[in-house]
Amino acid sequence: MSIGRSGQSAGRGIEVRHLRAFLAVADESNVTRAAARLRLTQPAVSRTLAALEQHLGVRLVDRSTHHLALTPEGVVFRDKAAAAVAAFDEALDSGGLRHWPLRLGHAWSAFGPYTTPLLRRWQELYPRTPLELLRIDDRTAGLTRGEVDAALLRGPVEAPGLVTEVLFEEDRVAAVAADGPLADRTALRLTDLAGETVVLNTVSGTTTVDLWPPSARPAATLTVANTDDWLTAIAAGRGVGVSAASTAGMHPHPGVAYRPLADAPSVPVLLARRDVPGHPALPDLVALAREVVGRDGGG
């Protein structure tokens, strides 16, 4: 079926394939990869995208850089296109789920101790809908950019257009050099770290200097962009860090010692999704995440 501007059938109008091509390009940021994903040739995808842009009268993709990026109009249209394709697929298969992957993003530490139970239980219940766990170094783990269908996030999230639910709370820990004097302590307090350089992941982390009381804030900070660089800096003795407790189990490092941080507030762990129609399996993911936390948390 072809849809013209007025919504009536038109022989040279827009079809669902145009939307799928645009969404593939938006997800892959690359026409070649999008073509491979759609099992089409690169020129066919380029022509389809160009036809969609011509029909809408706006440029959806910025082609001026090596890695394609969505224009502001493309970002807005992506959610509308995803909703339209989801509605189309649901109409054709109202009794089942789409069998392509459900993408679950995280910036670090995933679902903490519940990560493995969640993945195993999902595989048991929904073997035809793969659950892909993707680490993306971004405050919303790629959710606001449309790179994932849902995300596991920590700390307050102020991005507009998201629906969030707190699933559990985590204590905080201090991360210090394993061969440093602070590693000899069984537990630490925020004031114990105030005299050190504090390593802050400003891209996806939740720790800021506001965690400390105004009278005892760190004298110096070192900013990094991801968890790997955060661990490397701490192991090298360039500073100390603060993170959620699950980081100790999900990101062990021979040069880093984790110690309980007795006086720091806990960190909420959220399951977030965009406030638009999305993957039909999202309600099942929300229900299973609640079940896993409730069952494991209650012993």
- pLDDT less than 70: residues of the chain: 1-12, 65-66, 90, 92-99, 295-299
The superfamily in CATH containing domain 102-169+268-297 is Periplasmic binding protein-like II (3.40.190.10)
The superfamily in CATH containing domain 172-265 is Periplasmic binding protein-like II (3.40.190.10)
197-201 vs 220-224, strand pairing mode? parallel
Q: For the whole model, what pTM was predicted?
A: 0.67
Give the whole-angstrom CA distance, residue 49 versus residue 109. Answer: 37
71 burial via Cβ count (<10 Å: 0-12, 13-18, 19+): middle
The CATH number of domain 16-92, selected from 1.10.150.170, 1.20.140.10, 1.20.1340.10, 1.10.10.10: 1.10.10.10
Q: State the pLDDT at residue 4.
A: 41
Give the whole-angstrom CA distance, residue 170 versus residue 20. Answer: 39
206 burial via Cβ count (<10 Å: 0-12, 13-18, 19+): buried
Backbone phi and psi for residue 128, each to the nearest 5 degrees, phi listed first: -90, -5
Q: State the pLDDT at residue 89.
A: 72
pLDDT tens digits, one per residue of 228-282: 999 999 999 999 999 999 999 999 999 999 999 999 999 999 999 998 888 889 9
Fold match flag (102-169+268-297 vs 172-265): yes
User: Please, which residues bridge with residue 177 across strands?
Assistant: 256
